[in-house]
Structure 1
Amino acid sequence: MSQGIERFFLLSYCLACCWPGLGAKSDLRVVRQWAELDFVFPSEEAKQIAIEKRYYVPGMSVPIDVDVHHRQGPYPSRIFVTNPRFDEGRPITLGTVDETGKIVAYPDYSWHDNQGFNCGGMTSVFRVAIDECQRLWVMDAGKIGDKQVCPPQLLAFDLTTDQLIYRHVVNASNYVESSLYITPIVDVRPRGPGDCANTYVYVADVSAYSVLVVDVMRDQAWRTTHRLFYPFPSRGTFTIDGESFDLMDGVLGMALSPYHHGRDRFLYFHSLASTTENVVNTKILRNNSYMHDPTIDPDAIYVFPKERSSQSAAEAIDRNGIMYFGLMDPPSILCWNTATEFSSHNFHTVAADRETLQFASGVKIVLNARGEEELWVLTSSFQRIMTGSITSERINYRIHAEKVPIILANSPCKNSPNGQKGYHVNLVDKSSDGHTYRPHRYGSASYL
Structure 2
Amino acid sequence: MVAANSGNWFQSWGPPSFITDQQPIYSPLPLRNVSSPSNYDFNYQPLVQSSPAYGPNSLLTYMLALSVAKPKPRYYTGSEGIRIETTGPFKTWYYWKTLDFAYPTEEDRQIAILKEEFIPKNNLPLGVEVFKHRIFVSMPKWKPGVPATLAVIPRIPRESSPNLVPYPNWDWHRTDTCESITSVFRVAADTCGRLWVLDSGLINVTIKPKQICPPKILVFDLKTDELLFKHVLPDEFIKEDSLYSNIIVDVRHDCENVHAYLADVWRFGIVVFSLARMKSWRITDHLFFPEPLAAAYKVHNLNFEWTDGIFGMALSPYSRYETDRILYFHPMSSFREFYVKTSVICNETGWSEIKNAFRVMGQSRGKSGHVSASRIDRNGIMFYNLVTRDSVGCWDSRKPYKRSNLGLVAQDEETLVFPNDLKIDQEKRQSVWVLSNKLPFYLYEGLDHDKINFRVLSAYVDEAVKNTICDPKITGYDTFVDYQGEDDCY
Give the TM-score category using the shorter length. 0.7 to 0.9
- Structure 1 partner of 2:373: 314
Alignment equivalent of 1:412, drawn from 462, 469, 472 = 469
- Structure 1 partner of 2:182: 123
CA distance, structure 2, for counterparts of residue 401 and residue 246 of structure 1: 29
Give the alignment of 1:35-434 within 5 angstroms. 35-70=97-132, 77-97=133-153, 99-100=158-159, 101-114=162-175, 117-145=176-204, 146-190=209-253, 195-261=254-320, 262-289=322-349, 299-309=356-366, 310=368, 311-368=370-427, 371-415=428-472
Asked whether the 8 Å contact 2:265–2:311 carries over to 1, the reply is: yes
Task: Provide Cα deviations, 1:359-410, integer angstroms capped at 9, x if missing partner.
Answer: 2211111022xx1101100011122112224110111111110111222332
User: Which structure is richer in relative contact order (CA contacts within 8 A, separation 6 or more)?
Assistant: 2
User: Which runs of 5 or more structure 1 residues have no equivalent in the other structure?
Assistant: 71-76, 426-448
TM-fit CA distance, 1:299: 1.6
- Structure 2 partner of 1:438: none
What letter is aligned with 2:210?
K
TM-score (norm 1): 0.84
Q: Are the structure 2 counterparts of residues 88 and 419 from structure 1 closer, same or farther at C-alpha, using a change threshold of 3 Å? A: closer
- Structure 2 partner of 1:437: none
Task: Provide Cα deviations, 1:207-259, integer angstroms capped at 9, x if missing partner.
Answer: 11100000011100001111111111221121111211221111111000001
Asked whether the 8 Å contact 2:54–2:467 carries over to 1, the reply is: no
The alignment partner of 1:10 has SS state of coil
Q: Are the structure 2 counterparts of residues 158 and 421 from structure 1 closer, same or farther at C-alpha, using a change threshold of 3 Å? A: farther
- Higher helix proportion (structure 1 or 2): 1
- Higher strand proportion (structure 1 or 2): 1
What letter is aligned with 2:431?
E
TM-fit CA distance, 1:130: 0.7
The alignment partner of 2:318 has SS state of coil
Please provide the CA RMSD for this pair.
Answer: 2.6
- Structure 2 partner of 1:432: none
- Structure 2 partner of 1:10: 46
TM-score (norm 2): 0.77
Asked whether the 8 Å contact 1:186–1:202 carries over to 2, the reply is: yes
The alignment partner of 1:40 has SS state of coil
Asked whether the 8 Å contact 1:340–1:423 carries over to 2, the reply is: no
The alignment partner of 2:148 has SS state of coil
CA distance, structure 2, for counterparts of residue 423 and residue 200 of structure 1: 32
What letter is aligned with 1:158?
D
What letter is aligned with 2:277?
R
Q: Are the structure 2 counterparts of residues 418 and 344 from structure 1 closer, same or farther at C-alpha, using a change threshold of 3 Å? A: closer
CA distance, structure 2, for counterparts of residue 15 and residue 282 of structure 1: 37
CA distance, structure 2, for counterparts of residue 358 and residue 236 of structure 1: 19
Asked whether the 8 Å contact 2:362–2:400 carries over to 1, the reply is: no
CA distance, structure 1, for counterparts of residue 54 and residue 112 of structure 2: 50
TM-fit CA distance, 1:417: 7.8
Q: Are the structure 2 counterparts of residues 83 and 296 from structure 1 closer, same or farther at C-alpha, using a change threshold of 3 Å? A: farther
Asked whether the 8 Å contact 1:143–1:149 carries over to 2, the reply is: yes
